[in-house]
Amino acid sequence: MASPALHQRNASRSSRPRSSTRGPLDVSDDPLSLSSLSISPSADKHPLSQTDGFSGSSFHDLDPLAPDDLPETLGKDLSFLLRNNIFHPLSQVDIPSPLRSEFVVLNPGEPLSSSLGLLEKLLSEGRFLVAAHFASSILTSSLISPTDIKVIFSLFYTRLACLELSGNTVLAAQESKALEDLNSTFYYIDSSLDDTEAEKQHEKVHTDFPRHIVPWPLRVLAVRLQSIGFGDSRRSIGGLYEIGLEARSQIMRNDCSDSERKIWRERLADLGIRSVNALVEMGDLDAAKRSLESLRASEDTEAMKLRKSLLFLRIGDLDAAERVFGDSRESKEAALLKPLLSMSEGRYQDAVTEWRALHEDTQRTDKALVGQNLAVCLLYSGKLDEARQLLEDQVSAHHSFGSLIFNLSTVYELCSDSAGTLKGKLAATIAEQPVSGQTNLDRPNTDFKL
């Protein structure tokens, strides 16, 4: 049962929008209730001896600005996040059989560090569904202390992120509701309460500011997932603005170091992009355009400029997308804009020429992405065989990410009466490829259009 303090809301200048009475999770044929969502009975114990080189230390350092281990007087009991009924059973029935792998179970008597090392290994391999299952197994085991906030929040974040990466966003949205109100006073601490007189005399950092104990990546992820879980898209906008206000207050702190201030500024810029994306998902394109135009551009990185350009393209403002980079067209990110603009205007022949020039550039590290876009333009230009060959070459080079597989499966449907057989062979080919850790290995049937 959650602590009563969870329901005491921290002071905020924005109010929570009214929850809708019906949302996407309220349909009668709720996919979460299907009997197929069960743990595979054939799951065997995973040999922990294979975790050489993985210590699990990353689960203690999810957020560089998170508070250090809390003193006993400021300890938080997170047992409400360790209940079995929070976590949904998972299944691999929606994964092509060649790509299925056994769920990992905890070995009795193994220390927490070994289990975290194994989870770290699963993540490095890209086995996100298996990692999501194992993370919940650790959370509900006796290995975890209810006051070990760093590990609990890291594992909870891993569970939610892996569910989303493996195509189970609806499950992640429902499980995120266990966090309740992340703006509650329960999640804030005042470190000055445990300071000694000597520390107070030296004006210890953060003593005048309440500090949030939840890692920043989990807070940002929970904003989106809880808006889905509660069926209220406006909740996402409100949540992003609330944590944005906190980021601004941290930047304005007199005792904030230069390195900390840089991190907070990067976080604030990221929140701006996320809020625009949330408005686009809500269908409010006018508000999204105004918000995007109001974002500061003086300190934008090339990657941030590309994100803005892509949002302008999604909104439909091609001129604004082109203005983001201005006269600069020399960076890797800026070079992508020209063929994207050609595609947005329906000039696929021009886009083929532009993508091909980028694909032939041996200095680029994103040739797989460029090759996929080239293949799509070839498809729209009527060059089906060339598009198929190019996509199959990407798979042969072990560049088998989700959208590429989906596009190749589409090409198979267009060029063959035995598309199902070709898709099955594609799944078998990908299953035999070496593990790179860059893509999700637990691919659902939807990637292959099966």
Q: How far apart are CA 316 and CA 285, in angstroms?
A: 9
Q: How far apart are CA 394 and CA 249, in angstroms?
A: 47
Report the half-sphere exposure of 207 (CA within 13 A, side-chain side). 13
Residue 20 is predicted with a pLDDT of: 40
Q: How far apart are CA 6 and CA 79, in angstroms?
A: 13
Q: How far apart are CA 417 and CA 251, in angstroms?
A: 60
CB of 344 within 8 A of CB of 318?
A: yes
Residue 204 is predicted with a pLDDT of: 43
Residue 24 is predicted with a pLDDT of: 34
Q: How far apart are CA 1 and CA 7, in angstroms?
A: 12
Residue 253 is predicted with a pLDDT of: 86
Where are the domains positioned within the chain? 39-185, 346-450
Report the half-sphere exposure of 338 (CA within 13 A, side-chain side). 18
Burial class (CB in 10 A: 0-12, 13-18, 19+), 257: exposed
Q: What is the CA radius of gyration of the chain?
A: 24
Residue 73 is predicted with a pLDDT of: 53
Taking domain 346-450, whether its CATH number is 1.10.3470 is answered by no
Q: Which residues contact 87 (CB under 8 A, 6 or more apart)?
A: 136, 139, 140, 159, 175
- Residue 105 in 3-state DSSP? strand
CB of 76 within 8 A of CB of 160?
A: no
Q: How far apart are CA 359 and CA 365, in angstroms?
A: 10
Report the half-sphere exposure of 404 (CA within 13 A, side-chain side). 26
Q: Which residues contact 80 (CB under 8 A, 6 or more apart)?
A: 1, 2, 3, 6, 178
Residue 127 is predicted with a pLDDT of: 92
- Residue 45 in 3-state DSSP? strand
Residue 435 is predicted with a pLDDT of: 80
Residue 63 is predicted with a pLDDT of: 84
Residue type for position 394? Q
Residue segments in the chain with a per-residue pLDDT below the cut of 70:
1-53, 55, 68-75, 191-208, 298, 327-329, 437
CB of 114 within 8 A of CB of 47?
A: no
> For the whole model, what pTM was predicted?
0.83
